[in-house]
Amino acid sequence: MNRPVIGVVPLFDSEKNSYWMIPGYMRGLEAAGALPVMLPLTTDRAEISQLAKLCGGILFTGGQDVSPAIYGEKASPLCGEICDDRDNMERELLRLAVGNDIPSLGICRGIQFMNAALGGSLYQDLPAEYPSQTDHHMSPPYDRVCHRVDIVKGTPLHELLKKDVLGVNSYHHQAVKRTANCLREMAYSEDGLTEAVYMPGRRFIWAVQWHPELSYQSDADSMAILSAFVSAAK
């Protein structure tokens, strides 16, 4: 059986000047029937175009904060480390994914980046800009429920999971503020933050704020999201 190739955006450690990867991204996609491949970090548009043509789907992973310059703001003192090479690479990857209808899934930073690159904006630091009693930065273990989200009826996520409320894990300090015009919300946290989005008119361009790659082994809904992504990439 030929498995669809999923290009996985690499994580980057600036102190060690090295690529790295959370195993759950790769193993979760493998369990869903894909052949995941970690992409090289490059800003060369010709190379990115070649990489995109090799992939049946693209996974936009977690990692550093998204540069506020992408959504027209200056970085606040509470904005974390930025990786310009990742931002530039992912901007071109996303352009190609949208233009060529390449199935794509964003996780954590992935939803933040996709929203910002497509014209939306972000909270640079939730505790400072969106204080709440909801815990968005949980402690281990990460495969447990941290808070709940309300799923919007009539959205692809609701059609997939067949439920109105979903328990999710959570580990982030930035979040979607203003949703890009081309995206639609699929879920909201208990305190009103956008937790999942999709792009109408494309086979599968979804993004979630939580981490299915850390919970797919114990949570059927996390596995269902990864499987839906892989199925779209076939």
Which of 55, 79, 108, 146 is catalytic? The answer is 108
Give the DSSP per-residue string, 219-232: -HHHHHHHHHHHHH
Which of 90, 92, 195, 213 is catalytic? The answer is 213
pLDDT score of 57: 98
Closest CA to 94 of 223, 21, 156, 180: 180
pLDDT in tens, 141-197: 999 999 999 999 999 999 999 999 999 999 999 999 999 999 999 999 999 999 999
Residue 185, helix vs strand vs coil: strand
pLDDT in tens, 221-233: 999 999 999 999 9
On whether the CB atoms of residues 173 and 113 are closer than 8 A, the answer is no
Mean of pLDDT values over 63-74: 98
Domain annotation for the chain: domains and CATH numbers = 5-232 (3.40.50.880)
Predicted structure pTM score: 0.97
Dihedral (CA of 186, 187, 192, 193) sign: negative
Mean of pLDDT values over 75-98: 97
Instruction: For the chain, give the percent of residues with pLDDT over 90.
Output: 100
Residue 211 is among the residues annotated as catalytic for this protein: yes
Please state whether 192 falls in left (phi above 0), alpha (psi between -120 and 50) or beta: left
Cα–chain center distance at 25:
11
Which of 136, 147, 172, 211 is catalytic? The answer is 211
Categorize the per-residue pLDDT at 1 as very low, low, confident or very high, splitting at 50, 70 and 90. confident
Residue 213 is among the residues annotated as catalytic for this protein: yes
pLDDT in tens, 89-137: 999 999 999 999 999 999 999 999 999 999 999 999 999 999 999 999 9
